[in-house]
Amino acid sequence: MEVPSALATFRRWWPEAVIAVGDPGQPDPRQPLKPGVVLWRFDGVNASPALGSPSAAGSAAIAAGFAVLPWAPPPMMHDAASSLAGVGVEDLLACMVHPPQMPVRWDRLPGLWERYIQAWCCLGLLHHRPEQPWLASTRRQLLVELAYGVEDWITEAALYALITAAWVDPACRADVAKLVETRYLVMREAAKTRPVTVGISVAQLVYITPGMPGTTLQHAVDLTAALQTWPGDGHAKLAGLAGLVPQRKSLLDRLRGR
C-alpha cells in the first residue's frame, strides 16, 4: 500500500486513473504510533484529507515564501522558514494535504512540489511559539505527532524539521536523536513483514541527525548502500529484473534536485 500523500498526488496528476489498493499489511501503516493531529482520514484503504483547505492568504504566503527558494543546509532553511512565522498553524497543517498551486517551473516530476511544500510547512512549525522551552513546546508536540502519525511523506517532512531544530539548538539534540532513532527502528521492524515505501528517506535522515548512536547510523548507511532498496520493498523481489525497475527518489534526493 502506497502512502496517502503519494496516492493523493497521483490522483491530482491523473484524475481519471483508477487506483487499486491492496492490503496494507501489518503493522498497519494507517494507524498512528502516537495520538495527535490527524491529517488523513481512511475509509478502508482509501485516504482523504482530514482537514479543510487552507485560507487563500495562508496558502499564498506558503507558496510565495518557497517558490523561488533553493534548498539549502538545515540552519539556512530554518532561517528562511522564519517568513512563515505569521502563518497560522491551521494553514501550515492544511497545506500539507492541500498543497498550493504548483508553479510552472516545478512541473518536472509528480510529487516533487508536494514533498517540498510538506517539508517547508514543517519547518514553518518550528517558528510557532519559539519562546516556549523545547521539551514542553507546541512546536515539538506538533512535529512529534506528525512524525509518529500514519506512515506518509509527512513523516519524513516532520522528522526533517525535528532534525533541523537539532542543528540550530544543541540543547535539543539528545531528544531529537532519540525521536528519529525510534521512528527509524519502528520502520525497520515493520519492513520485515510489509513494504515501507518511505524507508530509504527516513534512513537517509538518520545520517544527518546530530548525536545519532553509531550502531543505528551504521545500519542506515549499510541499508541505503545495498542497492538503495529498503528491506521488504517489492523491488527486492524482482530478482534479475531489479535493475530494470526505476528506484524511488528519497526525500533527500528530491530536495537536492537529483
Percentage of the chain modeled with pLDDT above 90: 64
Q: Is 46 helix (H, G, I), strand (E, B) or coil?
A: strand
36 phi-psi bin (left φ>0, alpha ψ -120 to 50, beta other): left
Instruction: Examine the pLDDT at 199 and tell me if it is beyond 80.
Output: yes
User: Half-sphere exposure (CA, 13 Å, Cβ side) for 126?
Assistant: 28
Going by C-alpha positions, the residue among 22, 21, 35, 31 that lies closest to residue 190 is 31
Q: Is 105 within a domain?
A: yes
Instruction: Examine the pLDDT at 164 and tell me if it is beyond 70.
Output: yes
CA dihedral 32, 35, 38, 43 (to 10 degrees): 50
Distance CA(36)–CA(162), nearest Å, equals 16
Q: Is 107 helix (H, G, I), strand (E, B) or coil?
A: coil
Q: Is 238 within a domain?
A: no
Instruction: Examine the pLDDT at 255 and tell me if it is beyond 80.
Output: no
Q: Is 111 within a domain?
A: yes
Domain that holds residue 65: 4-190
Q: Is 54 within a domain?
A: yes
Q: How many C-beta atoms surround the C-beta of residue 160 within 10 A?
A: 28
pLDDT, one tens digit per residue, over 54-80 is 999 999 999 987 766 677 899 999 999
Average pLDDT estimate for 86-105: 92
**Residues 29/190, Cβ–Cβ less than 8 Å:** yes
Percentage of the chain modeled with pLDDT above 70: 84
Average pLDDT, the chain: 86
Cell 526525500: give the residue: 251
- Please tell me the predicted confidence (pLDDT) of residue 228: 55
Q: How many C-beta atoms surround the C-beta of residue 248 within 10 A?
A: 19
Distance CA(170)–CA(174), nearest Å, equals 8
Instruction: Examine the pLDDT at 195 and tell me if it is beyond 60.
Output: yes
Q: Which of 5-14, 145-154, 228-237 shows the lowest per-residue confidence on average (mean pLDDT)?
A: 228-237
Q: Which of 107-116, 143-152, 202-211, 221-230 shows the lowest per-residue confidence on average (mean pLDDT)?
A: 221-230
- Please tell me the predicted confidence (pLDDT) of residue 242: 29
What pTM was estimated for this model as a whole?
0.86
**Residues 192/232, Cβ–Cβ less than 8 Å:** yes
pLDDT, one tens digit per residue, over 112-153 is 889 999 999 999 999 999 999 999 999 999 999 999 999 999
Which runs of E-coded beta strand occur in the chain? 40-43, 46-49
Cell numbers describing residue 247: 528506484
End-to-end CA separation in angstroms for the chain: 25
Task: Please state the domain count of the chain.
Answer: 1
111 phi-psi bin (left φ>0, alpha ψ -120 to 50, beta other): left
Instruction: Examine the pLDDT at 245 and tell me if it is beyond 70.
Output: no
Q: Is 254 within a domain?
A: no
Q: Is 101 within a domain?
A: yes
Q: Is 224 within a domain?
A: no
Q: Which amino acid type is present at position 165?
A: A
Contacts by 225-229, CB closer than 8 A, 24 or more apart:
228/200, 229/200
Average pLDDT estimate for 80-107: 91
Q: Is 215 within a domain?
A: no
43 DSSP 8-state letter: E
